[in-house]
Structure 1
Amino acid sequence: MKTVVLASQSPRRKELLTQAGIEFTVQPSVKEEIYDPAETPDNIVASLALQKAEEVFAQHPEAVVIGSDTMVAIDGKMLGKPKDEEEAARMLKQLSGRTHQVHTGAAILSKEDRTVFTETVQVTFYPLTESEINTYIQSKEPADKAGAYGIQGLGAVLVERIEGDYFSIVGLPVAKVVRALKKHGIQL
């Protein structure tokens, strides 16, 4: 049986693959993320997922490697992980009461096949008060999250509705990844 390698140290991605019953090892990509900011967010996350998967696949050519990347965008502008609490507050104010997009790219590589795709989910936030934003920032949850929130944690209370795959927002379109893994010879 082939080994599955996750090219990410994201605890959320690990949790989702485990939940799906996939046996895997972890080897995070250490490659610097390089992309053209003129590209669309969905193309950027696909490219970054592929770069991560290719780096790890070069070290494990007999394995099936999964790379992934998630980005939040609003008004065509990408919101990465906030550098500090001030930037987190600016991001959350920008998302307050509005709909934004969460783009998650996935790349699955094996000797037999190469699958790259992007899932885009529409996420609408409730209008947020200054106090709600400050309370959420004090939780420290926004620190390592694209767009300064995590829907799977305390950030769930910020979200009015989603249109699309919830798990893509968390960091991995797990159902689509499992289907792609089957094309690469991985059975559950």
Structure 2
Amino acid sequence: MAHIILASSSPRRKDLLEQLGHTFDIYSPNIDESVLKGEQAAVYVERLARVKAKAVQDRFADAVVIAADTSLGLDGQILGKPESKQHAFEMWTQLSGRKHDVFTGVCVRTKDQIYSIVVRTEVEFQTLSLSDMEDYWATGEPVGKAGAYAIQGIAARYIPRIDGSYSNVVGLPLHETAKLLHDILKQSN
């Protein structure tokens, strides 16, 4: 039985990975998550997933490591986690009444094999009023979330449609992660 480690402290990723039925441990590496100059969201999330997976692999050489990173892309910009209420309001103003992309990079690796993928989902936001923003901020839910919202929570009321993987927007695209994990476990047996 492979020793699987999820390289994340995200409770949402933990809950999603549990749905695949594997037993796993959690170890969250401390890495630099700075965006490189000119880096696009899809490249950024895959790079971070790979860096996280390597950091954990270096510590647990015989493990199968699963790492992921999620960010929003809008107009060539990466929208990460809000640094303040004002920052969240700025992001929501950009997202209001528009579609944006959510990208998750997933890396599954052993000491001998590395598989990674980027999954994209298009999310549409309704037009948000200042009152909507104030009410949503008051819930506390936006803190620590890419794009300052959680689709699996209260923010769902502001999202009329998505095109693509729902679990990707939550933080771990299950279909793709299951395939990568299956492929790497098959190779390591």
Query: Same-fold call, TM > 0.5?
Result: yes
Task: Determine if contact 1:81/1:146 at 8 Å carries over to the other structure.
Answer: yes
SS state at 1:178 partner: helix
Q: What is the CA–CA distance in structure 2 between the aligned matches of 1:184 and 1:29, rounded to whole Å?
A: 21
Shift of 1:112: 3.9
- Runs of 4+ residues over 6 Å off in structure 1: none
Which residue does the alignment assign to 1:3?
A: 3
Q: What is the CA–CA distance in structure 1 between the aligned matches of 2:175 and 2:37, rounded to whole Å?
A: 29
**1:116 correspondence with 2:137:** no
Which residue does the alignment assign to 1:21?
A: 21
**1:153 correspondence with 2:144:** no
Which residue does the alignment assign to 1:44?
A: 44
Aligned AA (1:70) = T
Which residue does the alignment assign to 1:54?
A: 54
Which runs of no fewer than 5 residues in structure 2 stay unpaired? none
Shift of 1:39: 1.9
Q: What is the CA–CA distance in structure 2 between the aligned matches of 1:125 and 1:11, rounded to whole Å?
A: 24
Task: Determine if contact 2:116/2:180 at 8 Å carries over to the other structure.
Answer: no
SS state at 1:106 partner: strand
Aligned AA (1:74) = L
- Identity rate, percent: 38
Q: What is the CA–CA distance in structure 1 between the aligned matches of 2:168 and 2:61, rounded to whole Å?
A: 27
**1:103 correspondence with 2:103:** yes
Task: Determine if contact 1:7/1:66 at 8 Å carries over to the other structure.
Answer: yes
Aligned AA (1:55) = A
Aligned AA (1:119) = V
Closer/same/farther in 2, CA of residues 44 and 23 from structure 1, 3 Å limit: same
Task: Determine if contact 2:29/2:55 at 8 Å carries over to the other structure.
Answer: yes
Which runs of no fewer than 5 residues in structure 1 stay unpaired? none
Q: What is the CA–CA distance in structure 2 between the aligned matches of 1:69 and 1:111, rounded to whole Å?
A: 20
CA RMSD of aligned residues (A): 1.1
Moved more, 31-40 or 151-160: 31-40
Task: Determine if contact 1:34/1:48 at 8 Å carries over to the other structure.
Answer: no
Q: What is the CA–CA distance in structure 2 between the aligned matches of 1:22 and 1:37, rounded to whole Å?
A: 38
Shift of 1:34: 4.2
**1:162 correspondence with 2:162:** yes
Which residue does the alignment assign to 1:87?
A: 87
Closer/same/farther in 2, CA of residues 62 and 34 from structure 1, 3 Å limit: same
Aligned AA (1:128) = L
Aligned AA (2:162) = I
Which residue does the alignment assign to 1:73?
A: 73
The size of the alignment, in residue pairs, is 186
Q: What is the CA–CA distance in structure 1 between the aligned matches of 2:39 and 2:126, rounded to whole Å?
A: 29
Shift of 1:101: 0.6
Q: What is the CA–CA distance in structure 2 between the aligned matches of 1:109 and 1:178, rounded to whole Å?
A: 13
